[in-house]
Amino acid sequence: MIRGINQQNIFSLYEDYKKFIAIKEIRHLVLGKYHIELATLQSAPTIIKDKILKYLKELDGCSLRQVSRLTGFTVNKIFKV
């Protein structure tokens, strides 16, 4: 047993950490819902880009940095949508 650390708090922090979605899962979700590959999103029409970026921002466990890596857009552009 480690002194001074409550074991329950460690597990609750670990459970919060596990809520992140893997990049492969994000690709699969977008491909299934919108039928578009994220790598080709930059050449898509603006309406579709904005719609997909809003969807990705609303996903629990999906960070702006992950979306940036997947789409090629800057974090600032994703934040502004």
The answer to whether residue 12 is domain-embedded is no
The pLDDT of residue 61 is 85
Residue 4 lies in a domain: no
Q: Is residue 9 domain-resident?
A: no
Task: Give the pLDDT score at 17.
Answer: 55
- Looking up tokens 């996903």 gives 59
Q: How many domains does the chain have?
A: 1
Task: Tell me whether residue 14 is in a domain.
Answer: no
Say how many Å lie between the first and final Cα of the chain, rounded: 48
Q: Which domain holds residue 75?
A: 20-80
Which residue stretches of the chain have pLDDT < 70?
1-18
Q: Is residue 1 part of a domain?
A: no
pLDDT of residue 32: 94
**What count of Cα atoms within 13 Å lies in the side-chain half-sphere of residue 53?**
24
Which pLDDT score is estimated for 81? 87
Work out the number of other CB atoms within 10 angstroms of the CB of residue 67. 25
Let me know if residue 6 belongs to a domain: no
